[in-house]
Chains A and B, each alone.
Chain A
Amino acid sequence: MTRIGLVVNPVAGLGGRVGLGGTDGPDRARAALSLGARPLAGARAAAALGELAARAGKPPRAGCPAPGSGLLVVTAAGPLGADSVAAAGLAGQVVYAAGAGRDTSAEDTAAAVRAVVAEGVDLLLFAGGDGTARDVLGALGDVPCPVLGVPTGVKMHSAVFAVSPRAAGEVAAAWLARTGNVRLRDAEVMDRDEDALGEGRVTSRLFGWLPVPDVPVRVQQRKTGSTATAPDAVGGIAAEVAERVGAGLLALGPGSTTRAVAASLGADVSLTGVDVLALRPGHPPRTVAREAGEDALLALGPAWIALSPIGGQGFLLGRGNQQISPRVLRAAGGREHLLVLCTEAKLAALGGRPLLLDTGDDALDAELSGHLPVITGRRRTSLYRLAG
């Protein structure tokens, strides 16, 4: 019996269609409902479960049990999950119920996550948006439970979501079956920065990382019998960075590729911050600053800045790495000393959309815009468009 957790934020996405934006906080959810918004999260969670059931319990021959019969969904009562489990026709176990007669809240999400994870599940599915992802992150604390988001929110800057409910079911099935070398990756939890919003700036902050099943790009059908393992792109990128920097200070922005590159170089870097490494050929890297802010970066004056697109949007600057400010970028020498790191597969997945800049400094955005070499491997770059 495979056990999987599900927690639904029933108000996630309510504000989208009625133009209210996110529904963080009960007032906005009520306002959205009064404007005629229809809840979507439950139905989208059910769609994800349906896809999961179709793939997880695939009967290879007649006479086998029905699809999904080997699945037990550990969840919370009513709209917090149980309704979706019933809609998908799966077996559920309810371990949390919200108090009767009141709106559900972020506290309910957190309490439901804790109750579900305490029961022991192989994977926690949650349906919601960035706010829900933050609630899940806070509730999990240090519990190492694999997580996957079913996208139902209005604004999703986080990288913890599958691209669609159906895709969430597919990824979950691959994880539960452990087919195809599925590993976990640390994915960014991001949300709009309310402090900055108060000052009239729309930007997002990085709140942490959640372990998400990483389903690799499907392997193409072979044209010939000869084959080779996919090159270790990250190792190649790391070697290229080390060669370019030589001896000098390298500031690494947050992002899954930069972190993997740091690990490949032998450095232990912080999860969400900007770290500065001192590199010297033939020596292990030395960490000279962890979670450095703008002032610390200006004081150190790193010669090189390495960034990778973050959160699946193609955003390179101005989302989650505001410490690397226009002043820091200019002090480092701008374009010439900016190392953009991204695998070829991730670039292709942008579907032709440019990498995005939002530094808040129009002159700098203009200066950086155009074609920039993106390091995709050892001695390999792709000239890719950056747009402000």
Chain B
Amino acid sequence: MTASHAPVSVSPEEARIAGKPRLRRFQQASWDEKLIFELGSPGERGVLVPAADPSLGMPAIPAALRRAEPPALPEMSQQQVLRHYLRLSQENLGADLNIDVGQGTCTMKYSPKVNDQFVRDPRIAALHPLQDEDTVQGVLGIIHSLEQLLKEISGMDRVSLQPGAGSAAIYTNVAMIRAYFAARGEGEQRDEVITTIFSHPSNAACAKTAGFKVITLHPDADGYPDIEALRAAVGPRTAALLITNPEDTGIYNPRIEEFVRIVHEAGGLCSYDQANANGILGITRARDAGFDLCHFNLHKTFSTPHACGGPAAGACAVTEELAPYLPRPTVELDPETGAYRLDDDRPESVGKMRPFYGVVPNLVRAYAWIMSLGAEGLRAAAETAVLNNNYLLHKVRQIPGVSVPYAAGRPRVEQVRYSWEKLHEDTGLHSEDIGLRAADFGTHYWTSHHPYVVPEPMTLEPTESYTRADLDEYAAILAEIAREAYEDPETVRTAPHRSTIHRVRPQALDDPATWAVSWRAYRRKVLGEAGRR
């Protein structure tokens, strides 16, 4: 591994611009708040709905629609509910509150608040997915238009917005690859999928879930996926290459076209995980590198709020050859009448990936974001994200104890995977310790996917949303923590000190015997109460 420790010279002019910002005195709120199920008391009401005046002749709710038992919800007043959730919100860090460049690979950009107004508009919010398509022409039009925009952005022929993002979209693409080879009578033969160690682990996981064998390529000395390993991997059993570019190191693979050609020559397909597309919008296109499929995460690149396992929205884009396998229904435009309709009659489709036609609120947000920027704006967003990233790289690499593995001296695209290996060797502190100490300054960072190929990793992705002052402040926080690590390691080792809680034991999250994601599970596993499973 080649680390770049070259000293960086700073001109007096630069030094003046990048003067050291004053570090804020931050203190996270700590309310010691109980769970909502532990609050309230029997009989308390949040809303008392008056009975309808009999003179109105309102029919009673049919017996078949009434619950046999009331739902087991906490009973409490509105004020208590409001106070509870406001307190919880104060105990959080988040992209609307702090400089969230530390959530590398997650593209935590600002999601314009005006988009939320569109989404809350009853013309969107009150729609029901089971309405007749004649009555939802407007939203079908938005979906169809967004598909056209993403076709242009990717260079592909057809788009489906039904899948969720991330793993759901990757799985959709893998399912289409499987269907494509099955239709050609090569389903049995082509049972191998190739990916890389720096691509998102979802690529390998989805391929395995779909029944493929997975071959992983490791990086060469420059940090690029090893092209010699790719040549050794391809053959008559190759179904597909699933690859992220740039990978999470922020290094763009300039030989990506060659990768695609090698796989195509072996008879395989190429699918592009565009989770890291934020630095290349309007600059490169998946189709131009020869890819057959790609997917975008609308909640990363196109500004809809980050999903965290919730209502993500993705976009799968394919060439004409793979279009028959797209999830159904597709949204079709009748050029004669100008009417939109849902086409469910697609015998070769891989089927439904999500109910109905996707997560409409997030599709509306993505559509609004793209339309507000236009083609030039998308490119400007990408260029600003790249500039921000390289500015931060310039500042962070000056911090003692930091190194930037691979591709020494070359700029990165939209993020960088840094290493605190030297600081760890000097002080015994780990990257996780530094990240936790950052919480005392009102920010944080994430390390890396497993396995840690880059030792003591830290992945930073400043999108176009952050100002130079933000980046200066973030770099100053890291520099301050590095100084502490060398001069007062105990403070860092025992951090955080000004946060809501101290360190969590991650093992508890990893053990099915202790994790509790519902109140019922919490009572059973944590409080030790016997009860229904």
Within 8 A of B (CB), among A336-369: 344-345, 347-349, 351-352
Digitize A16-55: 1 where CB-to-B-CB distance is under 8 Å, 0 elsewhere: 0000000000000000000000000000000000010011
Within 8 A of A (CB), among B446-474: 446-453, 455
A227 and B451 within 8 A (CB): no
Given contacts A229-B511, A229-B512, contact A345 B218 (CB under 8 A): no
A170 and B428 within 8 A (CB): yes
- In the complex, which of the residues A58, A223, A344, A352 contacts B451, with contact meaning CB atoms closer than 8 Å? A344
A383 within 8 A of B: yes
Number of chain A residues close to chain B: CB under 8 A = 44
A381 within 8 A of B: yes
B308 within 8 A of A: yes
- In the complex, which of the residues A51, A60, A223, A384 contacts B218, with contact meaning CB atoms closer than 8 Å? A384
Given contacts A54-B493, A181-B507, A221-B446, contact A352 B215 (CB under 8 A): no
Task: Return chain B residues, CB-CB under 8 Å to A170.
Answer: 428
B309 and A225 within 8 A (CB): yes
A280 to chain B, nearest CB (A): 23
A266 within 8 A of B: no
B1 and A381 within 8 A (CB): no
A219 within 8 A of B: yes
Given contacts A217-B451, A219-B510, contact A225 B215 (CB under 8 A): no
Given contacts A217-B450, A220-B448, A383-B229, contact A51 B216 (CB under 8 A): no
Digitize B478-491: 1 where CB-to-A-CB distance is under 8 Å, 0 elsewhere: 00000000000110
A352 and B1 within 8 A (CB): yes
A180 and B507 within 8 A (CB): yes
B428 and A224 within 8 A (CB): no
Given contacts A351-B455, A352-B218, A383-B229, contact A225 B197 (CB under 8 A): no
Q: Report the bound CA distance from A379 to B455 in whole Å.
A: 27
Taking each of B212, B448, B452, which has the highest tally of chain A beta carbons within 10 Å of its own beta carbon?
B452
Task: Return chain B residues, CB-CB under 8 Å to A344.
Answer: 197, 216, 451
Within 8 A of A (CB), among B488-518: 489-490, 493-494, 505-507, 509-512, 515, 517
Digitize A120-151: 1 where CB-to-B-CB distance is under 8 Å, 0 elsewhere: 00000000000000000000000000000000
Given contacts A217-B451, A344-B451, contact A225 B517 (CB under 8 A): yes
Task: Return chain B residues, CB-CB under 8 Å to A54.
Answer: 428, 489-490, 493
Digitize A149-191: 1 where CB-to-B-CB distance is under 8 Å, 0 elsewhere: 0000000000000001011011000000001110000000000
- In the complex, which of the residues A219, A352, A382 contacts B507, with contact meaning CB atoms closer than 8 Å? A219
Within 8 A of B (CB), among A200-233: 217-227, 229-230
Within 8 A of A (CB), among B219-261: 219, 221, 226, 228-229, 232-233
- In the complex, which of the residues B309, B451, B517 contacts A348, with contact meaning CB atoms closer than 8 Å? B451
B225 to chain A, nearest CB (A): 10
A345 and B1 within 8 A (CB): no
Task: Return chain A residues, CB-CB under 8 Å to B233.
Answer: 371, 383
A323 within 8 A of B: no
B452 and A371 within 8 A (CB): no
Given contacts A217-B450, A345-B451, A348-B451, contact A223 B510 (CB under 8 A): no
Given contacts A352-B221, A383-B215, contact A166 B446 (CB under 8 A): no
A109 within 8 A of B: no
A229 and B213 within 8 A (CB): no
A376 within 8 A of B: yes
B103 within 8 A of A: yes
- In the complex, which of the residues B308, B435, B493, B510 contacts A221, with contact meaning CB atoms closer than 8 Å? B435
B214 within 8 A of A: yes
A222 and B214 within 8 A (CB): no
Task: Return chain A residues, CB-CB under 8 Å to B352.
Answer: none
Task: Return chain A residues, CB-CB under 8 Å to B509.
Answer: 219, 222, 227
Task: Return chain B residues, CB-CB under 8 Å to A381.
Answer: 213-216
A78 within 8 A of B: no
B204 within 8 A of A: yes
Given contacts A220-B450, A352-B1, A383-B217, contact A371 B229 (CB under 8 A): yes
A351 and B428 within 8 A (CB): no
Q: Report the bound CA distance from A78 to B215 in whole Å.
A: 55
Task: Return chain B residues, CB-CB under 8 Å to A281.
Answer: none
Digitize B171-209: 1 where CB-to-A-CB distance is under 8 Å, 0 elsewhere: 000000000000000000000000001000000100010
Q: Report the bound CA distance from A54 to B494 in whole Å.
A: 11
B425 within 8 A of A: yes
* A225 (CB) vs chain B CBs: closest residue: B309
B103 and A223 within 8 A (CB): yes
A370 to chain B, nearest CB (A): 7
Task: Return chain A residues, CB-CB under 8 Å to B228.
Answer: 370-371
Q: Report the bound CA distance from A51 to B489 in whole Å.
A: 11
A382 and B218 within 8 A (CB): yes
Taking each of A51, A217, A219, A221, which has the highest tally of chain B beta carbons within 10 Å of its own beta carbon?
A221
A380 within 8 A of B: yes
Task: Return chain B residues, CB-CB under 8 Å to A224.
Answer: 308-309
A380 and B204 within 8 A (CB): yes
A381 to chain B, nearest CB (A): 5
Given contacts A217-B452, A224-B308, contact A379 B208 (CB under 8 A): yes
A164 and B309 within 8 A (CB): no
B507 and A351 within 8 A (CB): no
B314 to chain A, nearest CB (A): 15
A373 within 8 A of B: yes
Within 8 A of A (CB), among B98-123: 103, 106
Digitize A306-346: 1 where CB-to-B-CB distance is under 8 Å, 0 elsewhere: 00000000000000000000000000000000000000110
A218 and B432 within 8 A (CB): yes
Q: Report the bound CA distance from A275 to B252 in whole Å.
A: 46
Q: Report the bound CA distance from A384 to B489 in whole Å.
A: 38
Given contacts A373-B215, A379-B214, contact A229 B447 (CB under 8 A): no
A220 and B216 within 8 A (CB): no
B515 and A227 within 8 A (CB): yes
Digitize B405-429: 1 where CB-to-A-CB distance is under 8 Å, 0 elsewhere: 0000000000000000000010010
Task: Return chain A residues, CB-CB under 8 Å to B451.
Answer: 217, 344-345, 347-349
Q: Report the bound CA distance from A79 to B49 in whole Å.
A: 83
What 15 new A-B contacts, CB under 8 Å, besides A54-B490, A229-B510, A383-B216?
Answer: A51-B428, A164-B425, A166-B425, A179-B505, A219-B507, A221-B447, A224-B309, A225-B308, A225-B517, A348-B451, A351-B1, A371-B226, A376-B216, A379-B214, A384-B229
The 10 lowest CB-CB distance pairs between A and B, nearest first, are A348-B451, A219-B506, A371-B232, A345-B451, A383-B229, A382-B216, A379-B213, A166-B428, A224-B309, A348-B453
Sample of 15 A–B contacts (CB below 8 Å): A54-B428, A55-B493, A58-B493, A180-B507, A220-B450, A221-B435, A221-B506, A223-B103, A226-B309, A230-B450, A344-B197, A345-B450, A379-B214, A383-B216, A385-B218
